[in-house]
């Protein structure tokens, strides 16, 4: 009996220790519960309120002009009022996770400024910690002198899954890339639907549908709401020897009447103005998070690499046509649903790549459809059929 009680107490102590660690980890996260920018075209102040003290670093970046505020781990509970900026000095404000244990606020600037003062104050009477950042208009020379190189952002480690012994028997690897994530919310619909949520939800539905084929190994570039840079998305596919790469998006357009799914393949010229515009916006996604643009790949001079790229491009076009064919008359498609543009994430020569626009959040009807689990299941099934059809003859060749 005494040994039982001793063992019971040991287990209780162990569980208590685990809970203490969990609570401590949770306690490390500060909550930003209010934010605003006040001022005019000459002087402005950013005010952010937290429930506890945070560590922070504020600096300027050029091209485009931005103020970056790196924070210790922070959860943002800010309503829409936080993005209503009554000052002509700041165009936009974004916030969110940027890396494990690191959060970020990005202020997009309308003109050259310098940071005059910044501080974190403990407002005891109101039980809050207040970050203050004062900005003043400056000459281009003073702005340039104040700019400094951004610190390297920690790599975002993907959740590790249990090793499945059956994976070694799988013939082909498909990498699904849910666009945006973390601080980069992507487009937003009239109903406040975030692109990053739609793309991840759909990727998980598609993974489940493709998982029924025991010859396919399905990987996601992100499994949760985290930021992944454009180059990291492509590198992830390369490191896992992908046989196919699909980037998933749900953009917004100025023309709110345009709706329907679109499948993009790579083209340096772009098939039309709309495609070129979308590619330009997507290729600047890293800037949204306060990073630099990914380095452009040098012009291919090696004939073997060029031949490889041409072969994978032909496969990419084949996949795109299969998806369009499967979707026709079953899912709403845009006019000319197979288009091309110079998307950064489609440039890897090692594997065929396509970018799937599920629809456009700028269109109210598309937004409602894409939020629907029923529509996502249906569309995922159709895309899954297309990918299976693409790999079927190749699977037969390997048997």
| Pairing status of strand 90-99 against strand 102-109 | antiparallel
Give the C-alpha separation, 113 to 136, whole Å.
Answer: 5
Going from N- to C-terminal start, the domains of the chain cover 28-146, 165-398
pLDDT digit string (tens) for the chain, length 399 residues:
444 444 443 444 444 444 333 433 446 899 999 999 888 889 999 999 999 999 999 999 998 899 999 999 999 988 655 555 667 888 888 899 998 899 999 999 999 999 999 999 998 878 899 999 999 999 999 999 999 876 666 655 554 444 555 566 678 999 999 999 999 999 999 888 999 999 999 999 999 999 999 999 999 999 999 999 999 999 999 999 999 999 999 999 989 999 999 999 999 888 889 999 999 989 888 888 888 777 665 554 555 555 566 788 999 999 999 999 999 999 999 999 999 999 999 999 999 999 999 999 999 999 999 999 999 999 999 999 999 999 999 887 776
User: Please, what CATH class does the domain formed by 28-146 belong to?
Assistant: mainly beta
Q: Which fold has domain 165-398?
A: Aminopeptidase (3.40.630)
β-bridge mates for residue 132, sequence order: 47, 119
347 prior amide bond cis, ω within 30 = no
Question: Pick from 206, 216, 244: which is nearest to 353 by CA?
Answer: 244
List Cα–Cα distances, 386 to 10, 100, 297, 325, 333, in angstroms.
55, 35, 30, 8, 15
Which of 191, 173, 170, 293 is closest to 241 using CA atoms?
173
Q: In the prediction, which pLDDT does 286 show?
A: 87
Crossing angle of helices 195-210 and 373-398, rounded to 10° = 40
What H or E segment, with its residue span, contains residue 68?
strand 66-72
Which residue blocks in the chain are alpha helix, DSSP H?
2-27, 140-146, 195-210, 230-239, 273-283, 285-288, 303-327, 364-371, 373-398
Q: What is the CA radius of gyration of the chain?
A: 24
Tokens representing 289 are: 């998070």
């Amino acid at each position: 009996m005494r040994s039982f009680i001793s063992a019971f107490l040991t287990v209780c102590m162990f569980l208590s220790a685990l809970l203490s660690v969990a609570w401590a980890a949770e306690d490390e996260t500060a909550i930003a519960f209010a934010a605003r920018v006040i001022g005019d075209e000459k002087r402005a102040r950013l005010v952010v309120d937290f429930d506890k003290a945070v560590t922070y670093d504020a600096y300027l970046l050029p091209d485009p002009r931005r103020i970056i505020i790196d924070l210790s781990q922070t959860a943002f509970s800010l309503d829409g009022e936080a993005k209503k900026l009554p000052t002509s000095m700041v165009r936009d404000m974004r916030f969110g996770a940027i890396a494990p244990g690191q959060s970020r606020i990005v202020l997009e600037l309308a003109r050259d400024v310098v940071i005059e003062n910044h501080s974190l104050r403990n407002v005891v009477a109101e039980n809050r910690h207040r970050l203050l950042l004062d900005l003043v208009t400056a000459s281009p020379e003073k702005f340039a002198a104040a700019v400094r190189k951004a610190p390297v952002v920690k790599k975002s480690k993907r959740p590790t899954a249990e090793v499945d012994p059956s994976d070694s028997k799988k013939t082909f690897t498909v990498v699904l890339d849910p666009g945006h994530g973390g601080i980069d919310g992507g487009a937003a619909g009239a109903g406040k639907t975030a692109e990053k949520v739609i793309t991840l939800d759909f990727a998980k539905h598609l993974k489940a549908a493709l998982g029924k084929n025991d010859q396919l190994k399905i990987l996601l570039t992100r499994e949760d709401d985290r930021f992944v840079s454009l180059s990291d998305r492509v590198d992830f596919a390369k490191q896992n020897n992908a046989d196919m790469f699909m980037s998933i998006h749900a953009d917004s357009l100025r023309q709110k009447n345009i709706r329907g799914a679109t499948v993009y393949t790579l083209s340096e010229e772009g098939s039309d103005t709309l495609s070129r515009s979308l590619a330009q916006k997507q290729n600047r996604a890293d800037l949204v998070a306060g990073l630099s643009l990914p380095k452009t790949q040098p012009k291919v001079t090696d004939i073997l690499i060029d031949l490889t790229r041409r072969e994978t491009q032909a496969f990419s076009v084949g996949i795109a046509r299969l998806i369009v064919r499967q979707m026709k008359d079953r899912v709403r498609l845009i006019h000319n649903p197979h288009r091309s543009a110079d998307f950064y994430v489609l440039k890897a020569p090692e594997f065929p790549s396509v970018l799937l626009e599920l629809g456009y959040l700028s269109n109210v009807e598309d937004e409602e459809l894409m939020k629907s689990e029923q529509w996502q299941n249906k569309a995922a099934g159709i895309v899954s059929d297309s990918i299976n059809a693409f790999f079927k003859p190749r699977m037969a060749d390997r048997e």
